[in-house]
Chains A and B, each alone.
Chain A
């Protein structure tokens, strides 16, 4: 079986986002770009599965839709251990556009398990994985917090409101993963970094498609009022404020 891990290139999660050009663009100065945290965990889990010879996973490919500026993120994924990479050479205009491009690639190359993160930490869309599966007409399992292979069959744990379910669907399918899929992201070792330089990155040109959504302007969140301090010896005052001022208890 072959696994495809879709990776998004996002600002490091500690970035204080600033907007530019009348709040119509992200100010990218000084931003450090990283693999989207959930995608990094997907990749980690995919590699763990491949490491286990009994799983029958033969290869792990990463796919990214983006311009040449995201090459370092792709190289990082290869250094962590992906066998090869595909980059669709396009500026991603919206989730619809990205999912469409990924589906086009999957139609040409065969993968059994397609892994996507539950959301990308930039636009918080939570939609690309589901869209890919519908473009391809294949099953999807959402909120996946665990995946293992049992007798050649992928078995997943998915989170439901107030519990968990263990489910299977036939391959090929899209697994949309979240917290729990892997414990800690795998880190690239020196050997991996050296090897990544010679691993293949296939360049694919995008297929023309009109996006369905457009961001017209950004806003910063409204700052919260200053914190009101209460004496540590008098928490009763806090209760009073929560009851009579904030009216939340």
Chain B
């Protein structure tokens, strides 16, 4: 018996998200008095793999196979489920990101394992195994019992703090032969965004709404984001109008994020917008309308005109930095 955690890499590197997953897996392993096995697929060097050990992984299974570069949901599912069975793992932890959403449900069927998805806390109970998850896009939470022998948890990003647990980690390199004809996904083209902080990874996000009035007015939002090392985001109408790229749209039908700080400028705070940001640790609202619903969700608010407030805020950040 053990806890299996799937740790994705990006061009051979792990991210904070990977360490969150291992920290979480270690938390469950302590509750169940068992060990953590991390699985990595792709070309990741030993130094990088060892980092997983800093968060409690006892064993790291590394699979480096040229045929598994692009995500092919069926072959990845085969690889992870075989390891699960070999390790006798009882719980599988995987991120709730795009990759996790592609793999977890397939693993569920393959292993007849109940899923708790978008989980944000350690299990509430071990017997019956009960997880805590968001429902109704943040308008509620549910205690869900997973009744199967093997259980799968997809962990909401940024919902679990990193916990350093030094363990004596063993790395096992596993060679696999994969039948080429079983790979069904053909990648024709890849476009990567470079040099920008990804919205889903960002610790700080500066977001603009329709109150910014025109795409030409985004200068101060970008400047503030630059100074704070933040990513930029926007409300849905802003991306629908083409003022900002669709990848910046946050909310129920866009990206769901949980940064440490979310600064909403000229955003009214519609329920569908809040669905994407209510997990943020701290929310700041800047809005001319004192009755805007965003202030009900905010920790700090400035009632005022963004075009006057932002320049002063930028000055204040510059002063703090100097």
* A residues apposed to B, CB below 8 Å: 11, 13-17, 19, 37-38, 94-96, 99, 118, 121-131, 133-135, 139-143, 145, 155, 158-170, 173, 176, 179-180, 183-184, 211-221, 224-225, 227-236, 238-239, 241-243, 246, 248-249
Contact = CB atoms under 8 A, between A and B. Distances in A.
A230 B301 contact: yes
A178 to B, nearest CB: 8
A28 B206 CA distance: 36
Nearest to B311: A235
- The A interface, classified by DSSP as helix, strand, loop or mixed, is mixed
A212 B139 CA distance: 24
A234 B315 CA distance: 11
B200 A161 contact: yes
Interface of B: 10, 70-74, 77, 96-99, 101-106, 108-110, 112-118, 130, 133-148, 154, 184-193, 198, 200, 203-204, 228, 240, 246-247, 249, 252-254, 260-261, 271-272, 275, 278, 281-285, 295-305, 308-309, 312-313, 315-317, 319-320
Contact of B284 (A163, A213, A219, A238): A238
Q: Which 3 A-B pairs have the closest CB atoms?
A: A130-B105, A232-B304, A212-B114
A161 B98 contact: yes
B71 A160 contact: yes
A221 B136 CA distance: 11
Residue of B118, B147, B302 contacting most chain A CB atoms (<10 Å): B302
A134 B117 contact: no
B105 A129 contact: yes
7 contacts: A122-B136, A130-B101, A130-B102, A168-B186, A212-B112, A220-B140, A238-B302
Contacts of A170: 184
Residue of A131, A211, A242 contacting most chain B CB atoms (<10 Å): A242
A163 B192 contact: yes
A232 B309 contact: yes
Contacts of A235: 302, 309, 312-313, 316
Nearest to A19: B140
Contact of B140 (A17, A164, A216, A234): A17
A159 B249 CA distance: 14
A242 B143 contact: no
Contacts of A246: 261, 281-282, 299-300
Nearest to A121: B137
B16 to A, nearest CB: 12
